[in-house]
Amino acid sequence: MTEKNRAVHIIAGNRSVDDAVSLMAIKKAGALIVTENERPVGIFTERDVFRFYLKDNTTALSQIAVQDAMTAKRIAAKPEYEISAVLALMTRDDIRHLPVVEDDNIIGILTLNDLIAHQIESLTDEIQQLRDYIEDLHEAGRD
């Protein structure tokens, strides 16, 4: 979490899905935290737009409240969670955006892409360290 400082974008649950989609496009965000009386009550993601549209493609997005299309199940990570635990949580619950909560406040959002990039970087570093170690062993064996 300390490496990522992704902005948290919020929207009131009584706003329209059309408003949410516009905000997501402007902010280049894949998810918004949905609030009611300034308290988080859910998350609205790109997937929620498609799910609701497939469920009801006759109602205009401007006529649908975000709270009616959002994911109400509140799943979150804490800053101290290990990356592997966060990846397991996101995989288990099939989610791509995960709020990070500290003292009941959302302090950030992690994406699956954030975590994959971190894992690739970490594994690349580890591979290089192993290559250097093996090279050192070979050189030591020649002496």
Q: Is residue 61 part of a domain?
A: yes
- State which residues form the domain around 104: 10-111
Q: With H, G, I as helix, E, B as strand and everything else as coil, classify residue 11.
A: strand
Q: Is residue 75 part of a domain?
A: yes
Q: Is residue 50 part of a domain?
A: yes
Q: Is residue 3 part of a domain?
A: no
Q: Is residue 103 part of a domain?
A: yes
d(CA 42, CA 24) in angstroms, rounded, equals: 15
The token duo for 112 is 């699956």
CATH code: domain of residue 46: 3.10.580.10
- Give the single-character DSSP code of 62: G
Closest by CA position to 75, among listed 50, 61, 92:
92
What is the number of other CB atoms lying within 10 angstroms of the CB of residue 29?
A: 21
76: left (phi > 0), else alpha (psi -120 to 50), else beta?
beta
Say whether pTM exceeds 0.85.
Answer: no
pLDDT per residue of the chain (143 residues) written in tens, 0 to 9 = 555 557 899 999 999 999 999 999 999 999 999 999 888 899 999 999 999 888 888 999 999 999 999 999 888 999 999 988 999 999 999 999 999 988 878 888 999 988 888 889 889 999 999 999 999 888 887 76
Q: Is residue 79 part of a domain?
A: yes
Q: Is residue 121 part of a domain?
A: no
Q: Is residue 132 part of a domain?
A: no
The token duo for 9 is 């974008």
37: left (phi > 0), else alpha (psi -120 to 50), else beta?
left
Total domains, the chain: 1
